Structure 1
């Protein structure tokens, strides 16, 4: 194993297997992690094989593999070979009727989903979403969020976090420091939020402050005009400092995918800007080999501070497994009994 730390970078790849060129790239560049999408997932054995190929290429048995597996419309394990999990917003609706029952259902569903990912040797579904979805919030968040009540969001997100850690999965709170005021889709444009710091601290930032012991967090692309009017959060030293100092978050921070149209500049410029801002890891998950190579050339080895944060996160992981089918059925029965289809 190389003595130099891995690059502070997650990348994607296009298919179900690593090509010779992709394996050579991973071996030579040594990106810290791999981010999978639906295009990479066919069946359980294939997924485990792909994860193994990546880890063998970078010569690290613990090299992390992440996906987006929140439930609802953002779940990549949805080609019919795996259970379909409900959106977080549905659990939020149940919790508004009965908080204790909503928490129980959320915990059971998260335990089942965490076990599923653990069996596939995937380390994280990059969940939960802790944003406050309110009237006017763009559908890019929508049902991905529990709702607009900070206390309910905190209570429900905590169930996801605990269940994921118990199973050995890495929960990733999204999208720190708060993404619920977006009115445009960052895949195509950069959201702009004009709220004051005081307003944000009393609302959108609250879940992230309460959940700041979560080992990983993801920062997204939006401009807070009252914090940094020039740069999106994912490339802003001012926002990074706010997350570390005002919110008090000490875990690993990864950016949302840097290929979204909310950002400007070349792939290299975006990676450089994100790491210069102070974030631990840049995410470039597009999957094109040439683009990944450009991102890798701009990345740098993980800092000692980032490595320490990663180590603390690893130490929090358990190994609990559950009966996926039984828990999934129990969750569905809870919704049925409460008149929710």
Structure 2
């Protein structure tokens, strides 16, 4: 089991002590540090800035949103950071959701599975630098069709000027549903699992195994990474820890998506919290956020946490490791917590 420090995306301001957190994480043996993006700070700039002060930590995006950049642009970011870090970059990608994709980026959200497959292939073709990069589309056609309305017809197929350091730069995908997780096992090098639940481990593994079994699958169980985002809290007061993270659960279930389409809500329904999810969504979308938080059951918060005394958390980590998790992506905002977490694995 490895540890990754998830710094995520910024709120109103940058994370003030991020350099200190990253330095201690590297000192304590963490494997990687990750950034993310929503509709504020981007995933790559902080990673390059903070990562410059490191020498061993892998530097990952968890996640960079597909709609934020064409695949060739993402590949340019990736090969640049991989060179600057001497081969320490992990590309973490995700489709986000329709509210962000269509509301923020002004792109169509439809066909996320097909878009992801095509996007990853273009990125791999850029990194391979075997030939000029082309794609038949339909989502990311390269070059742009000369007969399309408004096209100049002056297109030219290209390959990157800069030689990528690694053609096999690892690509991890954020995925929640069965088809998406199976495709991730088929075409990617790792799975970014948000809200991993030990109760769904058998289901997750069956989806992964389906992907590994497909013809041409890139990896097998033995060399595929499963990185689970998780809150790890060492405490004798479990009730207080649950209370601290109850608002976050309510936000993701009730507010991070539309009533008609919320992948997080669907995931918690698969965990068995269907009635609670419906109530939380209804309250949250009605503007009753305090009531939505109160409607989150304790066990629903604890489902995706590792919490208890140090010995209890170590035992829980062993259970997650046995279920196939290879990395815990933990959130920490003080150095003492990082040092404490490092003693667990």
**Is the pair's TM-score, using the shorter chain for normalization, greater than 0.5?**
no
Normalising by structure 1, what TM-score? 0.40
Which has the higher Rg, Structure 1 or Structure 2?
2
